[in-house]
Amino acid sequence: MKKTIDVYGYASGNAAADSRCCMGPITMQGSPSIQDLSALQWKTHILPTNAATQLEAIEAVEKACRKLAQHTQSSCQAHRHFTVIGGDHSAAIGTWSGAASAKNGPLGMLWVDAHLDSHTPESSISKNIHGMALACLLGQGDKRLTSILGAEPKLDPQHVVILGARDFESAESSLLADIGVTVITMDRITERGFSACFQDALTQVSANPRGFGISIDIDGLDPQDAPGTAILTEPGIRIGDLQAALTQHIATHPQFLGLEIAEFFPDLDKNGQTEQVIATLMQSAFGL
């Protein structure tokens, strides 16, 4: 049977400080890097309903994420893998709410990011919702965002690992520690090696019986490899290391549900470098 990957674009930057990431999925849909990947079936672009920002964007984010959740729910119910391309990382609220609903309970999650994305409206200084996405999926934050397709948390904290963190606030790390989320920092990766850290993370997230997803913020990668994002902090995860791990451990993993890639800013890219990285990650994760 021919492999089919459903692809959804989340063409919104409302939840970020810089909205230009809304062009990420549109650029990728037309990218020569993925034109030959016949397994990818582009479905739709989820668009914001207005141009509100910060906490005033909650209603627009909720509507866009609800639409996205309905799509990923359908993919999971049909036993098809999916990819979501952002846009800002608030996409995750929709992506994994839909998958969790289809699987009837909280999922495992490998969250690749320089940040923790675990603020609440009360703790956030910037008030940008993309910095609250993981907290929302863990049931923490505004009920309009935590209750999409169900009031229960969408992720099981015992089976959530953040990989590559290096820029975050104490309020976020305290929240995650209190509810039992594992954070593997870049310092730890440098100390132990990427392969060992990835395998530890995979063991933990894949222990969830309903399955697990992978959500990648481009800023979690090393800027040498992926310069097309708004916040560049070195060192980051090298694309060669991540590509090898996805190919070896994810492409045929029976618990793997789908992939999400967020915060790609095409106009900040250099010679299509990040665009190619995204294509490479998609190929590696699904064995294309």
pLDDT value of position 36: 79
Position with higher pLDDT, 93 vs 35: 93
pLDDT value of position 1: 54
Mean pLDDT (whole number) for 272-285: 96
% of residues, the chain, pLDDT over 70: 99
pLDDT digits (tens, 9 = 90+) for 247-263: 999 999 999 999 999 99
pLDDT value of position 18: 85
Beta-sheet pairing, 256-262 with 81-86: parallel
Per-domain residue ranges for the chain?
5-286
pLDDT digits (tens, 9 = 90+) for 76-117: 999 999 999 999 999 999 999 999 999 999 999 999 999 998
Q: Which residue has the tokens 């902090």?
A: 233
For the ranges 35-49, 128-142, 198-212, the one whose mean pLDDT is highest: 198-212
At 235, the pLDDT band (50, 70, 90 cuts) reads: very high
pLDDT digits (tens, 9 = 90+) for 51-84: 777 887 789 999 999 999 999 999 999 999 999 9
% of residues, the chain, pLDDT over 90: 79
Average pLDDT, the chain: 94
pTM for the whole thing?
0.95
Question: Quick check: 114 and 165 in contact, CB under 8 A?
Answer: yes
At 37, the pLDDT band (50, 70, 90 cuts) reads: confident
At 16, the pLDDT band (50, 70, 90 cuts) reads: confident
pLDDT value of position 71: 97
Pick the CATH number of 5-286 from 3.40.50.10540, 3.65.10.10, 3.40.800.10, 3.40.190.10: 3.40.800.10
